[in-house]
């Protein structure tokens, strides 16, 4: 199948147009991933809004996560 150059562009212009289209395609993929991550975070937030208030103020499930480091006391 013959390729017809209907807009009469030079090989340099054709290369620039191809590079631009590839960069725009990559930007589109990145935007889709970013929107997908935002939608997932938004969905988790919406589900969290339906939880009772007591579950948001409950102590942590791991007992070690509530431990505090002991205060260092300097003795002279």
Structural contact between residues 66 and 59, judged by C-beta atoms closer than 8 angstroms: yes
Q: For 30-62, what is each residue's pLDDT tens digit?
A: 999 999 999 999 999 999 899 888 877 877 677
**pLDDT at residue 21, rounded to an integer:** 96
Mean pLDDT of the chain: 85
What's the rounded Cα separation, in Å, for the pair 41 and 66? Answer: 26
Find tokens 């970013």 and name the residue: 34
**Helix extents (H) in the chain:** 11-49, 53-56
* pTM of model > 0.75: no
Q: How many CB atoms lie within 10 A of CB 53?
A: 6
Burial 26-35 (b: 16+ CB within 10 A, else e): eeeeeeeeee
pLDDT over 90 at 66, yes or no: no
């Amino acid at each position: 199948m013959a390729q017809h150059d209907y807009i009469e562009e030079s090989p340099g212009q054709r290369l620039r147009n191809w590079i631009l289209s590839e960069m725009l395609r990559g930007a589109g993929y990145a935007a889709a991933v970013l929107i997908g991550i935002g939608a997932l975070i938004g969905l988790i937030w919406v589900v969290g809004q339906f939880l009772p208030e007591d579950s948001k103020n409950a102590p942590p499930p791991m007992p070690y996560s509530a431990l505090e480091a002991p205060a260092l006391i300097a003795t002279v």
